Structure 1
Amino acid sequence: MSQLEQLELQAHREQLDADVQQLVDKYLAIAEWDVPEINEPLAVALIITAIRQALDRVEQASPTAAPI
Structure 2
Amino acid sequence: MSKIEQLEMDAHRAQLASDLSALIEKYRSIFDWDVPEVDEALSDRLILKALRQALDAFEADLPAGKPG
Q: How many residues align?
A: 67
Provide the TM-score with structure 2 as the length reference: 0.85
Higher relative contact order (Cα pairs below 8 Å, separated by 6+ residues): 1
Tell me, which stretches of 5 or more residues in structure 1 are unaligned? Answer: none
Q: Deviations over 1:12-40 (max 9, x none)?
A: 00000011111111111111111131111
Provide the TM-score with structure 1 as the length reference: 0.85
Tell me, which stretches of 5 or more residues in structure 2 are unaligned? Answer: none
The answer for the alignment partner of 2:14 in structure 1 is: 14
Q: How does 1:34-45 map to 2 (within 5 A)?
A: 34-45=34-45
The answer for the alignment partner of 2:59 in structure 1 is: 59
RMSD over aligned CA atoms reads 1.7
Identity %: 49
